[in-house]
Amino acid sequence: MFEHNRKNLRVIFSATLLLAATQPMPAVQAQVPQAAQTQDARELRDGKAQRDRRMAWWRNARFGMFIHWGLYAVPAGEYQGRKIPGIGEWIMDTAKIPVPAYEKFAPQFNPTQFNAREWVRVAKAAGMQYMVITSKHHEGFSMFGTKTNTYNIVQATPFKRDPLKELSAACREAGIKFGVYYSIMDWHHPDANEANAPRYIAQMKEQLRELVTGYDLSLLWFDGEWVNWWNTARGRDLENFVRGLKPGIVINNRIGKRQPTDGDYETPEQEIPAGALNTDWETCMTMNDTWGFKTDDHNWKSTADLLHKLADIAGKGGNFLLNVGPTKEGLIPQASIERLTQMGRWLRANGESVYGTSAGPWRNLPWGRVTAKPGRLYLHVLEWPRDGRLVVPGLQNPVSGARLLTGDRRTLGVARNVDGVLVALPPRAADALNTVIVLDIKGAPVVRPTAMRQTADGVLTLRAADAEVHGATARYESGGGKDNIGFWTDVRDQISWNAEVTRPGTFSVEITYSCLADNAGSEFAVEVGGQTLTGQVTSTGSWTTFQTKTLGTLKVDAAGRFTLWLKPLRKPGYAVMNLKSVTLRPVAG
């Protein structure tokens, strides 16, 4: 047992038991638990048992290597003496290279330094549990020895080898799962269009048969599904075809049109959802700004940033598919290898806090993220609290122990107060990149959402980031001028806040939102206890132009907690609105 005196506050920490704090703690910023999950449409489709069986290895894996490698590695972002902007694998489109000119890259493609075992060693050393490589990107060039045409690496290049066959064998040897990316959109094939789609789909199926039956695939990563001649029905047909070849294979949602029952999981790209989704999901991301190699892209993310993203993703129950873009010589860029090596070093020490974990009970916390296993929470402390005290907000479970996962693995003191569980920290983080604390708890995590509180002037601001979302589509989104509840396309989705006032009275109620003109007209109600205010959404001009509107006044008769609800009543357009905040402002008198 040890004692801390800080800022006239005495809290007795105990290494094993929880003792009451001597004084209430200042409120931490309200941390909203992960939104209550609605039923997963894919689980309804397949049944829980089959879904758990198919997804088990994938959910355990949490971290995989994406590889974008194709003819685009030859120009590597330059064409006819010009640097071509944008992502490297799109150079055929971006530079408007005609098919015959683009085909001339094939005889130049001879990656003699390619070594499948070395690529797999890099992936494994990084702690990656699966690999997904482009078998055919939008350029239409097959990186495997397909029999369906001669536009492939075995027949059209001096290399004459099948790198996917070699990688599949090396993955099997190393014990990591092998998957391929396959683009539905194809800029080379003359039939990849509405008029000739049936003929093209027939060849696509033949190539997929070759891949699924000949390369020991555990995963198929479709892409390019946005073309107007691809539709949900064709996606369903293709999914049935693939599952007929290998029922247990994992398929992403881009085999269809990214509908809730397309494939096995969602694929947010270059972004991390604000909170856990109600289905399996995987963020794919570049390490710099391009998927395919470019000689002039040096905008590398730091190892710390990549590890924080891994913690953020795992803390929300997702997988991280991190990309490398090998060169025309067959080498993974050194800058990628350096970062992957450092990530692997961290994962070798901390892997149990990532692999096989599920989402923690919080969407985000000021100091980091939380992953979970039965009876255990892993606190990923990314910002080391300066006052030596880690607040785990609203946690109601008895805590039987806390310790560092790495370093000297010392036991840490814990205490409880009105805002949750406190963990006493050593002065310095055990790992500057991400220090993980193991918190052993009894039972499944139970979190009481901490309430939003009035500021000194009595104003109560309820922010989108702290809202609880009740529904399957609306969700918090941030970045790019957004800090709001968006994707509000289902009129049944509602949001609420837990609030607490110490100074009751009459409040004017303001709503800050944005709405594109053609979506205006939705009606909504704000409810507190038995009181209701209604409003109608008018256009603010764009989804990122926010305006504030006063709805009326509400009375809060007594100090204490209450819940404020915002419920759509009618939605004539595609979305209700983008909601930034609701503010209760005391009315004088």
CB of 404 to ligand FHN, least distance (A): 37
The distance of closest approach from Cβ of residue 290 to ligand FHN in the complex, given in angstroms and rounded to an integer, is: 9
| Residues 209-228 as x/- pattern, contact with ligand FHN by CB under 6 A | --------------x-----
Which structure tokens are listed for 562? 């209450």
Least distance to ligand FHN, CB of residue 68, Å: 6
Q: Which residue has the tokens 């309200």?
A: 30
Question: How far apart are alpha carbons 475 and 271 in whole angstroms?
Answer: 14
- Residue 285 vs 460, nearer CB to ligand FHN: 285
Task: Specify the stretch interacting with ligand FHN by CB under 6 A; choose among 83-91, 296-304, 424-432, 545-553.
Answer: 83-91
Least Cβ distance, residue 55 to ligand FHN (angstroms): 20
Measured from the CB atom, is 223 or 419 closer to ligand FHN? Answer: 223
Residue 289: CB minimum distance to ligand FHN, A: 12
Radius of gyration of the chain (CA): 26
Spatial contact of 439 and 377, defined as CB atoms under 8 Å apart? yes
With vertex at residue 36, the alpha carbon angle to CA 542 and CA 513, rounded to the nearest 5 degrees, is 20
Nearer to ligand FHN, 89 or 266 (CB): 89
Q: How far is the CB of 376 from ligand FHN (least distance, A)?
A: 33
Tell which residue, 105, 170, 117, 26, has the closest CA to residue 328: 105
Stretch in the footprint of ligand FHN (CB under 6 A) among 74-82, 85-93, 383-391, 468-476: 85-93
Segment near ligand FHN (CB under 6 A), from 82-90, 300-308, 359-367, 369-377?
A: 82-90
Q: Does 230 bind ligand FHN (CB under 6 A)?
A: no
Q: Which two tokens stand for residue 129?
A: 């549990």
CB of residue 54 to ligand FHN, shortest distance in Å = 22
SS3 at position 284: strand
Closest contact distance (angstroms) between CB of 223 and ligand FHN is: 5
Residue carrying structure tokens 């399996």: 280
Instruction: Sketch the per residue contact string, 168 through 207, with ligand FHN: x for CB under 6 A, - otherwise.
Output: ----------------------------------------
Instruction: Pick one of 40, 43, 89, 419: the residue that binds ligand FHN (CB under 6 A).
Output: 89
Q: Is 271 in the site for ligand FHN (CB under 6 A)?
A: no
CA 497/CA 490 separation, integer angstroms:
19
Q: Using the rule CB under 6 A, give the single segment among 84-92, 102-110, 469-477, 523-531 that binds ligand FHN.
A: 84-92
Listed in sequence order, the residues at least 6 apart from 566 whose beta carbon sits closer than 8 Å to its beta carbon are 494, 495, 496, 511, 524, 525, 526, 527, 579, 582
Are 279 and 260 contacting, i.e. CB atoms less than 8 angstroms apart? yes
- Does 87 engage in binding with ligand FHN (CB under 6 A)? yes
Q: In terms of CB distance, is 291 or 346 closer to ligand FHN?
A: 291
CA atoms of 53 and 233, how far apart (whole Å): 26
Report the residue number, 269 or 518, with the smaller CB distance to ligand FHN: 269
* Binding letters toward ligand FHN, positions 38-77, x by CB under 6 A: ----------------------------------------
CA distance 153 to 159: 7
DSSP code per residue over 144-204? S--SS-S-BHHHHSTT-S-HHHHHHHHHHHHT-EEEEEEES--SS-TT-STTTHHHHHHHH
* DSSP H stretches of helix in 191-318: 197-214, 232-245, 303-315
Q: What is the H or E stretch that residue 483 is in?
A: strand 482-486
Residues sharing a CB contact under 8 Å with residue 196, sequence separation 6 or more, in sequence order:
190
Which range, of 27-35, 86-94, 101-109, 116-124, touches ligand FHN by CB under 6 A? Answer: 86-94
Do residues 34 and 106 lie in contact, with contact meaning Cβ atoms separated by under 8 Å? no
Nearest distance in Å: CB 90, ligand FHN: 6
Quick one: which H or E segment has residue 52?
helix 48-61
Helices (H) and strands (E) in the chain, counts: 11, 31
Number of residues in contact with ligand FHN under rule CB under 6 A: 7
d(CA 378, CA 445): 12
Contact characters 280-299, ligand FHN, x per CB under 6 A:
----x------x--------
Q: Which tokens hold the place of 250? A: 């994992």
Nearer to ligand FHN, 105 or 513 (CB): 105
Separation between Cα atoms, residue 207 and residue 425, nearest integer Å = 56
> Shortest gap between Cβ of 385 and ligand FHN (angstroms)?
37
Question: Which one of 269, 271, 387, 557 is in contact with ligand FHN (CB under 6 A)?
Answer: 269
Cβ proximity to ligand FHN, 270 vs 411, nearer residue: 270
Contact positions vs ligand FHN (CB under 6 A): 87, 89-90, 223, 269, 284, 291
